[in-house]
Structure 1
Amino acid sequence: MRVFVQPGLAGHGLAGLAGAITPLALAPFDIWPIAPLSIALLYLLLQRLSPRQALLRGWSYGLGAFLAGTSWIYVSIHDYGAASPVLAGSLTFAFCAGVALFFALPAYLWARWLRQAPGLFNPLAFAALWVAQEMFRGWFLTGFPWLYSGYSQLAGPLAALAPIGGVWLISFALALTGAGLAELCTRRHQPPARFAIAGLLALPWLAALALVNQQWTSPLGKPLSTSLVQGNINQAMKWQPEELTNTLRLYRDLSINEESDLIVWPETAVPVLRDYAEGYLNELDSLMASSNRALITGIPLREAAPHGWRYFNGITVLGQGEGTYLKQKLVPFGEYVPLEDVLRGLIAFFDLPMSNFSRGHAEQTLLLAQGQRLASYICYEVVYPDFAARLAADSSLLLTVSNDAWFGDSIGPLQHLQMAQMRALEAGRWMLRATNTGVTALIDPQGRIAQRIPSFTQGVLRGEVQPMQGLTPYLRWQSWPLSMLCLGILGFAAFRRQREALDDAVTA
Structure 2
Amino acid sequence: MSTVYRPWMGYLAALVAGGLTTLTFSPFQLWWLGPVAVALVFAGFHAQTPGQAALRGWSFGVGLFGSGTSWIYVSIHDYGYTGVPLAVFLTALFAVTLALFYAVPFWFYRRFTGARLAWLSFAGLWVLAEVLRTYLFTGFPWLLLGSAHVDSPLAPLAPLGGVYLLSLVTALSGTLLVELLRRRWWPLAPLAALWLVPPTLPGHWTTPGETTRVALLQGNLPQLMKWTAEGQRNAANTYARLTRSLGDDVDLIVWPETALPMFERQALPLLERLQTTLPTDTALLTGIVERDEQGDYYNAVIGLGNTQGRYRKEHLVPFGEFMPLEWLLRGIIAFFDLPMSSFSAGAHDQPPIRAAGLSIGTAICYEIIYPDLVASRARQAEALLTVSNDTWFGGSIGPLQHLQMARLRALENGRYVMRATSNGVTAIIDPRGRVTHRAPQFETSQVVGEVRAMQGETPFTRTGSWPTWLLAGLMLVPGLRLRQTRRR
| TM-score relative to the length of structure 2 | 0.96
Q: Which segment drifts farther, 106-115 or 437-446?
A: 106-115
Asked whether 1:215 is paired with 2:199, we answer no
Contact 2:410/2:430, CA 8 A, preserved across alignment: yes
Distance in 1, matches of 2:231 and 2:71, equals: 27
Distance in 1, matches of 2:168 and 2:426, equals: 30
Contact 2:160/2:412, CA 8 A, preserved across alignment: yes
Deviations 1:375-403 (A, max 9, x none): 11100000001111111111101100000
The 5-angstrom pairing of residues 308-323 of structure 1 reads 309-323=295-309
The aligned counterpart of 1:464 is 450
Q: Once the 2 structures are TM-superposed, how far is the Cα of residue 98 of structure 1 from its aligned partner?
A: 0.4
Which one of 130, 136, 140 corresponds to residue 136 of structure 2? Answer: 140
Contact 2:74/2:393, CA 8 A, preserved across alignment: yes
Asked whether 1:164 is paired with 2:155, we answer no
Distance in 1, matches of 2:70 and 2:257, equals: 23
SS class of match (1:232) = coil
Distance in 1, matches of 2:4 and 2:140, equals: 29
Question: RMSD of aligned C-alpha atoms?
Answer: 1.8
> 1:206 and 1:493, CA in 2 relative to 1: closer, same or farther beyond 3 A?
same
Distance in 1, matches of 2:461 and 2:365, equals: 21
Q: Once the 2 structures are TM-superposed, how far is the Cα of residue 3 of structure 1 from its aligned partner?
A: 4.4
The 5-angstrom pairing of residues 298-377 of structure 1 reads 298-305=287-294, 309-377=295-363
| Identity over aligned pairs, percent | 46
The aligned counterpart of 1:235 is 223
The aligned counterpart of 1:412 is 398
Which one of 470, 475, 487 corresponds to residue 489 of structure 1? Answer: 475
The aligned counterpart of 1:225 is 213
SS class of match (1:242) = helix
Which one of 248, 251, 259 corresponds to residue 269 of structure 1? Answer: 259
Asked whether 1:75 is paired with 2:59, we answer no
The 5-angstrom pairing of residues 79-158 of structure 1 reads 79-117=78-116, 121-158=117-154
Contact 2:46/2:115, CA 8 A, preserved across alignment: no
Deviations 1:220-254 (A, max 9, x none): 22x11111100001101111123212211110110
Q: Once the 2 structures are TM-superposed, how far is the Cα of residue 14 of structure 1 from its aligned partner?
A: 2.5
Structure 2 portions without partners, runs of 5+: none
The aligned counterpart of 1:13 is 12
Asked whether 1:60 is paired with 2:67, we answer no
Deviations 1:82-139 (A, max 9, x none): 111110000000010100000101211221112323xxx2221111111111111010
Distance in 2, matches of 1:304 and 1:488, equals: 50
Contact 2:212/2:450, CA 8 A, preserved across alignment: yes
The aligned counterpart of 1:388 is 374
Q: Once the 2 structures are TM-superposed, how far is the Cα of residue 200 of structure 1 from its aligned partner?
A: 3.0
Contact 2:212/2:358, CA 8 A, preserved across alignment: no
Q: Once the 2 structures are TM-superposed, how far is the Cα of residue 201 of structure 1 from its aligned partner?
A: 2.6
The aligned counterpart of 1:29 is 28
Deviations 1:289-344 (A, max 9, x none): x4310101000011233xxx211100011111111100011111111111111111
Q: Once the 2 structures are TM-superposed, how far is the Cα of residue 282 of structure 1 from its aligned partner?
A: 2.2
Asked whether 1:244 is paired with 2:232, we answer yes
Contact 1:19/1:63, CA 8 A, preserved across alignment: yes
Distance in 2, matches of 1:3 and 1:239, equals: 59
Asked whether 1:292 is paired with 2:281, we answer yes
Letter in 2 for 1:292: D
| TM-score relative to the length of structure 1 | 0.92
Which one of 177, 181, 188 corresponds to residue 185 of structure 1? Answer: 181
Distance in 1, matches of 2:161 and 2:194, equals: 12
Size of the aligned set, in residue pairs, is 486
Q: Which segment drifts farther, 248-257 or 88-97?
A: 248-257
Deviations 1:134-164 (A, max 9, x none): 1110100110101111122111110000000
SS class of match (1:173) = helix
Deviations 1:177-227 (A, max 9, x none): 0011112213x48xxxx53x333333332330211x431000122x11111
Distance in 1, matches of 2:61 and 2:203, equals: 36
Q: Which segment drifts farther, 11-20 or 165-174?
A: 11-20
Distance in 2, matches of 1:2 and 1:378, equals: 51
SS class of match (1:376) = strand
Distance in 2, matches of 1:142 and 1:115, equals: 32
The aligned counterpart of 2:193 is 203
Contact 2:10/2:41, CA 8 A, preserved across alignment: no
SS class of match (2:233) = helix
Contact 2:173/2:194, CA 8 A, preserved across alignment: no
Distance in 1, matches of 2:177 and 2:85, equals: 42
The aligned counterpart of 2:171 is 175
Q: Which segment drifts farther, 442-451 or 43-52?
A: 43-52
SS class of match (2:151) = coil
